[in-house]
Structure 1
Amino acid sequence: MSVDTKKRVLIVANELSPYLEFSEFAQILNQLAIKTFEAGIEVRVIMPRFGVINERRHKLHEVVRLSGINIIIDKDDYPLIIKVASLPNARLQVYFMDNDDYFKRKLVFRDENDEFFEDNADRMVFFCKSALETVKKFGWPPNLIHCHGWMTSLVPLFLKTAYKKEPVFGFTKTLYTAQADQFKEKLSDQFVRKALISNEIKEKDLEIFKDRTNTALTLGGAKYADVVVMGDRKMPAKITDEVKPSRSKKVLAFDPAWVEDVTSLLDLYKSLTDS
C-alpha cells in the first residue's frame, strides 16, 4: 500500500486579495498561497462568498458535486452552496461558502446605516462549520490549517473538540492570525449557545469567548491554535500581553517584510507540514 506523502495547506480566511481586502494581510495571504503552491505543497483556500464579491468578474461557479450539505446552527438547517474560482495568475482554487440567508446581502459586516449585523455571530458559526464540513466532503486531509480573520476564530476550537475524532483532521496543526480589532461592538448574546455545535464542546471551552468582543474572539482563536502569527503592525496590548510563546505554542511578531517577501512565512508553513 502506498503512503500518501503529499503536504497540504488549507487557508481559511475572511479576506483574500483580489476578492476582499480589510487589511494588508489580504495581499500577504495571496502571495503566500501562490508561493506555497509553487513550492510543491497542495494549497486550497476557503472564504465566505460575501455579496460584495462579484461572481462574474472573478468567474465563480457552483460546485454541484459538493452541494447538498446542510449546516445545522442551533437546530436550524441552512443549505450550504459551495462556489469555486481560480486565484488569478495561479493554479490553485478558492472555495466560497455561500448561503442566501447569510451572504446574499451586498454588504459585509454592517448595514446601510453602518450598524453591525445582528446575525454576524450566526454567520461566523456557519462559516467555520461549513469550512470544516467541506474539507470532510473533499476527503482532503490538511497538514496545516491557517485561520485568518476574526470570522475564523472558532475553527481551532472546533478542531480540538467537535472534529477531534475526524480522520481527515488526524494530523492537522492550526495556525491563527491575530489581528487588531476590526469592530467595537459585541456579537449577539446567543453566540456561545450557537457555537455549541456538538456535544463534544462544553460551555467551559467557550469561556474565553464569553465577552463576545473582537478581542475575545482573537484570544479564543489564539488559545486553541498551535501557532499564532501577529497580523498587524500594531497589536492591542491585551493581545500581546496574553498571547505569549510557550513550550506548546509558537508566537510570531508581525514582520513588515512580509508585505514584499513572504519567504519566512513559507518557511513556517514548511516546518509545520514537515513535523
Structure 2
Amino acid sequence: MDINKVLYISQEITPYLPSTPMSEISQKLPQGIQERGSEVRTFMPKYGCIKERRNQLHEVIRLSGMNIIIDDSDHPLIIKVATLQPARMQVYFIDNEDYFLRGQSSKDLEIRLTPEDNDERIMFYVRGVVETVKKLRWDPTLVHASGWVSALAPIYLKRVYSDDPSFRNSKVVYSVFDDKFDGTLDPRMVEKLKMEGFTDEDLKSISSAPVDYVALNKLAIDYSDGVIQASPEIDSEILSYIKESGKPFLPYPGETEYIDKYAEFYNSL
C-alpha cells in the first residue's frame, strides 16, 4: 500500500479495556495495516481502570513533562507505552490525573462520573497525542481518529496544526461508531476552544447550542478528508450528514476481511 505512516487516535483498545467491537477493531486494524508494510503509531487515553503492572505500561520520560494549558489551567502530560504481542506494536497512552481518574472500574464509569470534564478531557487527549507525535519527529501520511473521544482531532489538525511540518500533508479519516453519550458537553466548550486558537468561523457549527453527540460528530466530519461507518448501525442524522457532505465515505465494511477495505480507502484519499 502507498500510505507509509499511519497514526491511530483511538478511544479504546483491547486487551487494555474489555472487548467491544470498537476496542477489537482498534487493535486489529493497526496491526493489520502494520503487517501490510506501513509504519504505525497508536494512541489511547490512560483510563484509571487500566492496570499498569498487568499490562506492562511504563512511562516514557523523554516524551513526558510537558504542560498543556486548557481553560487557563496547566495540566501535566504523562506518556506511557506498552507493546502488543505478538505483533510487537507499541501503544502509547495519554495520562493525566486531572482527567483520567485513578481506580475507576471502567472507562464508561470514568466518563459518566465526571461528564462535566469531558470537553476538556477530549481536548487534552487530542492535544496530548499531537504534541507527542511532534516530539517523536514522526510525520504521519494519514491520521485515523476513532470514536467521539477522538472527535476533535480533525479540527485541531486542519486548523491549529495545519502549518505544522508533522501534519501539513496528513489526510484525516474519522470513524463513526454507535457509541452515543447522553446530554451535552460543557456550555463553555466553544469559549475554551477559542482560547486554543480557533475562530468563530471554525466553530460556527457548534456555536448556537451546547454540544451533544450528534453535533460533536458533525464537527469531526466537517474537518475530515474521509469518513468511515465503523458500526453496522449509526445515528441516522449523522449518516445522512455524511452522505450530504460529499466526503469520501466507506460504508460499514463488515466484521471480517475489513482491513483490506480500510487500506483501499486510505489509498483512495
Normalised by the size of structure 2, how large is the TM-score? 0.91
Structure 2: stretches of 5+ with no match in the other structure: none
| In 1: Cα distance, 2:167 partner to 2:206 partner | 23
The 3 A distance-change label for structure 1 pair 271 and 89 is: farther
Match of 1:266 among 243, 263, 267: 263
Match of 1:256 in 2: 254
| In 2: Cα distance, 1:133 partner to 1:219 partner | 24
Match of 2:87 in 1: 90
Letter in 1 for 2:238: I
Q: State the Cα distance separating 1:75 from its structure 2 match.
A: 1.5
Q: State the Cα distance separating 1:264 from its structure 2 match.
A: 1.1
Q: State the Cα distance separating 1:266 from its structure 2 match.
A: 2.6
Q: Does the aligned pair in 2 maintain the 1:17–1:30 contact within 8 Å?
A: yes
| In 1: Cα distance, 2:232 partner to 2:185 partner | 25
Q: Percent identity?
A: 38
Deviations 1:164-217 (A, max 9, x none): 110111110000001224211111112112223533x11331232343111111
The 3 A distance-change label for structure 1 pair 162 and 46 is: same
| In 2: Cα distance, 1:185 partner to 1:105 partner | 24
Q: Does the aligned pair in 2 maintain the 1:209–1:219 contact within 8 Å?
A: no
| In 1: Cα distance, 2:98 partner to 2:83 partner | 25
| In 2: Cα distance, 1:40 partner to 1:52 partner | 33
| In 1: Cα distance, 2:239 partner to 2:51 partner | 36
Q: State the Cα distance separating 1:262 from its structure 2 match.
A: 2.2
- Report matched runs for 1:9-20 at 5 Å: 9-20=6-17
Q: State the Cα distance separating 1:27 from its structure 2 match.
A: 0.9
The 3 A distance-change label for structure 1 pair 100 and 257 is: closer
Letter in 2 for 1:125: M
| In 1: Cα distance, 2:17 partner to 2:255 partner | 22
Normalised by the size of structure 1, how large is the TM-score? 0.89
Q: State the Cα distance separating 1:21 from its structure 2 match.
A: 4.7
Match of 2:160 among 145, 153, 162: 162
Q: What secondary structure is seen at the aligned counterpart in 1 of 2:127?
A: helix
Q: State the Cα distance separating 1:228 from its structure 2 match.
A: 0.2
| In 2: Cα distance, 1:240 partner to 1:6 partner | 26
Q: State the Cα distance separating 1:53 from its structure 2 match.
A: 0.9
1:219 maps onto 2:218 in alignment: yes
Q: State the Cα distance separating 1:256 from its structure 2 match.
A: 1.9
Match of 1:117 in 2: 115
Structure 1: stretches of 5+ with no match in the other structure: none
Q: What secondary structure is seen at the aligned counterpart in 1 of 2:154?
A: helix
Match of 1:153 in 2: 151
Deviations 1:132-175 (A, max 9, x none): 11111111000000000101111100111111110111110000
| In 1: Cα distance, 2:179 partner to 2:78 partner | 29
| In 1: Cα distance, 2:263 partner to 2:65 partner | 35
Count of residue correspondences:
264
| In 1: Cα distance, 2:220 partner to 2:3 partner | 27
Deviations 1:91-130 (A, max 9, x none): 2211000011111333334469x65522111111110111
- Report matched runs for 1:14-163 at 5 Å: 14-21=11-18, 23-107=20-104, 108-110=107-109, 115=113, 117-163=115-161
Q: Does the aligned pair in 2 maintain the 1:32–1:266 contact within 8 Å?
A: no
Q: State the Cα distance separating 1:227 from its structure 2 match.
A: 0.5
Aligned CA RMSD, in angstroms, stands at 2.1
